[in-house]
């Protein structure tokens, strides 16, 4: 990325004040975390939820979360399982565990409030440079420029930037551009305007260039090549995993669920229907039986198929086959899990599950009646 000429920089700064900010004042979405006066806690929670998640998905989660945890003290005092349950379905559960930890730090070291000083914000666990800039700017008015995916896309098109935006050197230079274009008297509005422009107008596909307030200074728009930018290195093929899960019934017609290790893994602390990845040459019943032996020390009989779930995580996809099962011998042990529980389909809401496991729950609840051991294993 070559240096931007002073003339270009002056032109862009003028367009920000004269075109972008008036456009934002007319078209800004009415989002709950933008309610005035800005609450630093609400801004922080919204920024964490919005990481790699769409705004329309976040809004109802945000509203429910703040209704349950209205301030850092309430969040810090809540059991982690309760926090994970309120986060259920939003994905990237490390975020939920991290904000719970951060809330406890706020209560212990900062009187239950987010500090206004950017350096103090940066010292909190789980707040990286982007989140610090966002909270400092939106909640406290500090002149710190925010650079997220929307802003990177807008800048790349404004400059028709050929550089790979995935490279740290390119991001560093784009951050420098964001800093240079920030109106220091209106830092929050400038940051939100760039982000709103990327979300509403300068979209990844089919950008609405004729409606863009910056079309007159946008090189990609002038060359009619906006979708050629930003330049990104092609992603590697995403791994695909085939997985089996057991819906184990007991004589009381309860269902066995297992808890993942709460200290490691992207789904740490969540509950699941026990199982695992299929090995070469295995049938699905063989896979499930082997996994239950390894995970919980159980000898099981695998029965009828319940549902197949397809789900995409950030770095891989899964094809999850759920089968009914029963225990032949053994009691659940925690060999590769941290806990277990026997429950019924009307009590699943007491536990936090991943999205894939929620699909199994949905299939169980769609059955005309609760599953019973004798219906699936009549010889028992």
Residues 55 and 193 in one domain: yes
Residue 277: strand pairing partners = 243
Q: Which 3 state secondary structure label does DSSP give 303?
A: strand
Q: What is the pLDDT of residues 69-128, one digit of tens each?
A: 999 999 999 999 999 999 999 999 999 999 999 999 999 999 999 999 999 999 999 999
- Maximum separation of any 2 CA atoms in the chain, in Å: 83
Q: How many CB atoms lie within 10 A of CB 129?
A: 13
**Per the domain annotation, does 120 fall within a domain?**
yes
**Per the domain annotation, does 339 fall within a domain?**
yes
Residue 245: strand pairing partners = 275, 322
Residues 354 and 325 in one domain: yes
How many whole angstroms separate alpha carbon 254 and alpha carbon 326? 11
Q: What local confidence, expressed as pLDDT, does residue 1 receive?
A: 57
Residues 161 and 263 in one domain: no
Residues 16 and 161 in one domain: yes
Please identify, among 196, 228, 260, the residue that sits at the C-terminal boundary of a domain: 228
Q: Chain-centre distance of CA 150, in angstroms?
A: 16
The CATH number given to whatever domain includes residue 247 is 3.90.79.10
DSSP-derived letter for residue 39 is P
Show the tokens assigned to 202: 């300068």
Nearest to 244, CA basis, from 289, 276, 272: 276
Residues 153 and 277 in one domain: no
Residues 211 and 258 in one domain: no
| Residue given tokens 């863009």 in the structure block | 212
**Per the domain annotation, does 272 fall within a domain?**
yes
How many whole angstroms separate alpha carbon 300 and alpha carbon 324? 10
Domain count within the chain: 2
Q: What is the pLDDT of residues 196-216, one digit of tens each?
A: 999 999 999 999 999 999 999
Please identify, among 197, 228, 259, the residue that sits at the C-terminal boundary of a domain: 228
**Per the domain annotation, does 1 fall within a domain?**
no
The list of the chain residues with pLDDT below 50 reads none
**Per the domain annotation, does 233 fall within a domain?**
no
Q: What local confidence, expressed as pLDDT, does residue 339 receive?
A: 96
Residue 373, phi then psi, degrees to nearest 5:
-55, -45
Torsion sign, CA atoms 189, 191, 196, 198: positive
Q: State how beta strands 317-329 and 240-249 pair.
A: parallel
Q: What local confidence, expressed as pLDDT, does residue 264 receive?
A: 77
Nearest to 261, CA basis, from 352, 333, 334: 334
The CATH number given to whatever domain includes residue 106 is 1.10.340.30
**Per the domain annotation, does 76 fall within a domain?**
yes
Residues 20 and 158 in one domain: yes
Residues 159 and 301 in one domain: no
Q: How many residues are given for the chain?
A: 380
Q: Which 3 state secondary structure label does DSSP give 259?
A: strand
Catalytic residues: 47
Q: Which 3 state secondary structure label does DSSP give 329?
A: strand
Q: What local confidence, expressed as pLDDT, does residue 379 receive?
A: 78
The parent domain of residue 329 ranges over 240-376
Q: What local confidence, expressed as pLDDT, does residue 2 receive?
A: 60
pTM of the full structure: 0.86
Provide the CB-side half-sphere exposure for 206 (13 A, CA): 0
**Per the domain annotation, does 234 fall within a domain?**
no
How many whole angstroms separate alpha carbon 56 and alpha carbon 76? 27
Residues 245 and 275 in one domain: yes
Residue 288, phi then psi, degrees to nearest 5:
-65, -45
Residues 54 and 189 in one domain: yes
Residues 212 and 296 in one domain: no
How many whole angstroms separate alpha carbon 107 and alpha carbon 112? 4
Residues 223 and 339 in one domain: no
Please identify, among 228, 253, 284, the residue that sits at the C-terminal boundary of a domain: 228
């Amino acid at each position: 990325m070559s240096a931007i000429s002073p003339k270009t920089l002056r032109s862009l700064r003028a367009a920000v004040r004269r075109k972008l900010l008036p456009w934002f004042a007319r078209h800004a979405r009415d989002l709950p975390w933008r309610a005035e006066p800005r609450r630093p806690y609400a801004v922080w929670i919204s920024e964490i939820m919005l990481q790699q998640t769409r705004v329309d998905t976040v809004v109802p989660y945000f509203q429910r979360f703040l209704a349950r945890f209205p301030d850092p003290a309430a969040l810090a005092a809540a059991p982690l399982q309760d926090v994970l349950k309120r986060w259920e379905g939003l994905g990237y559960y490390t975020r939920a565990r991290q904000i719970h930890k951060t809330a406890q730090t706020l209560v212990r070291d900062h009187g239950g409030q987010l500090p206004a000083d950017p350096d103090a914000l940066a010292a909190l666990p789980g707040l990286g440079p982007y989140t610090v800039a966002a909270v400092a700017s939106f909640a406290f008015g500090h002149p710190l420029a925010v650079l997220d995916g929307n802003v990177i896309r807008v800048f790349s098109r404004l400059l028709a930037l050929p550089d790979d935006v995935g490279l740290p050197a390119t991001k560093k230079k784009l951050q420098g551009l964001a800093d240079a274009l920030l109106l220091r008297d209106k830092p929050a509005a400038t940051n939100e305007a760039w982000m709103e422009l990327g979300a509403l107008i300068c979209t990844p596909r089919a950008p609405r260039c004729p409606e863009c307030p910056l079309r007159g200074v946008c090189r990609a728009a002038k060359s009619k090549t906006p979708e050629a930018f930003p330049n990104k290195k092609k992603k590697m093929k995403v791994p695909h995993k085939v997985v089996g899960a057991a819906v184990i019934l007991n004589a009381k017609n309860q269902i066995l669920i297992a808890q993942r290790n709460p200290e490691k893994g992207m789904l740490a602390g969540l509950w699941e229907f026990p199982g695992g990845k299929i090995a070469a040459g295995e049938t699905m019943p063989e896979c499930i039986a082997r996994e239950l032996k390894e995970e919980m020390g159980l000898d099981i009989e695998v029965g009828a198929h319940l549902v197949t779930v397809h789900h995409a995580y950030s770095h891989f996809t899964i094809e999850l086959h759920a089968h009914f099962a029963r225990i032949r011998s053994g009691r659940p042990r925690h060999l590769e899990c941290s806990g277990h529980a026997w429950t019924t389909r009307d009590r699943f809401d007491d536990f936090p599950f991943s999205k894939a496991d929620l699909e199994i729950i949905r299939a169980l609840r769609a059955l005309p009646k609760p599953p019973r051991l004798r219906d699936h294993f009549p010889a028992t």
